[in-house]
């Protein structure tokens, strides 16, 4: 079995006021022309779930809702999975000095960013994609 090393390119800074993708200085050159896009895809590492138990979970209730039957983790966006990669599509609000303010992400504060890519509607959107009925169900109240 091969092992891979993932190098974070920055961290997510999240507060009640805003969400910022802070890109490390050594990767700033890679942001050239990103401002030409309105949205980006942020890939991050669910670092708080990096446990043997979390990585070995293969079935979960989507959205942690016990009323939805168990699904394989690959049929969900659960943070419990063998490789703890998460992603959010974010609208870019501003970019300054390696700080990309975005509208949202479901990652937590100080989550490591492992990559960002521009959102390209022609290749990233699938207008006629099929989804199961539970996707339309409201999220459970906490």
Rounded Cα distance, 108 and 18, in Å: 12
Are residues 100 and 71 part of one domain?
no
Are residues 100 and 38 part of one domain?
yes
Taking the CA atoms of residue 15, residue 54, residue 71 and residue 127 in that order, the dihedral angle to the nearest 10 degrees is 40
Are residues 64 and 99 part of one domain?
no
Please state which of the ranges 48-52, 71-75, 113-117, 136-140 shows the lowest mean pLDDT: 136-140
Average pLDDT over residues 57-72: 93
Element (H, E) at 124: helix 121-124
Percent above pLDDT 70 for the chain: 99
Are residues 96 and 57 part of one domain?
no
Domain count, the chain: 2
Range of the domain at 14: 1-46+84-120
> Closest Cα partner for 87 from 116, 48, 65, 59?
116
Give the Å distances, CA to CA, from 38 to 87, 88, 96, 119, 122.
17, 14, 15, 8, 14
**Is residue 28 situated within a structural domain?**
yes
């Amino acid at each position: 079995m091969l092992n891979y090393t993932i190098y974070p390119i920055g961290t997510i800074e999240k507060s009640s006021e805003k969400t910022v993708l802070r890109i490390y200085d050594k990767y700033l050159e890679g942001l050239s022309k990103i401002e030409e896009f309105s949205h980006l895809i942020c890939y991050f590492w669910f670092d708080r779930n990096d446990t043997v138990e979390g990585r070995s979970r293969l079935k979960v209730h989507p959205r942690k809702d016990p009323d939805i039957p168990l699904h394989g983790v690959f049929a969900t966006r659960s943070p419990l999975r063998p490789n703890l990669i998460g992603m959010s599509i974010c609208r870019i609000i501003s970019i300054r000095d390696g700080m990309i303010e975005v509208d949202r992400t479901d990652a937590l504060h100080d989550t490591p960013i492992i990559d960002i890519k521009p959102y390209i509607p022609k290749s990233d959107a699938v207008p006629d994609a099929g989804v199961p009925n539970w996707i339309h169900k409201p999220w459970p109240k906490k």
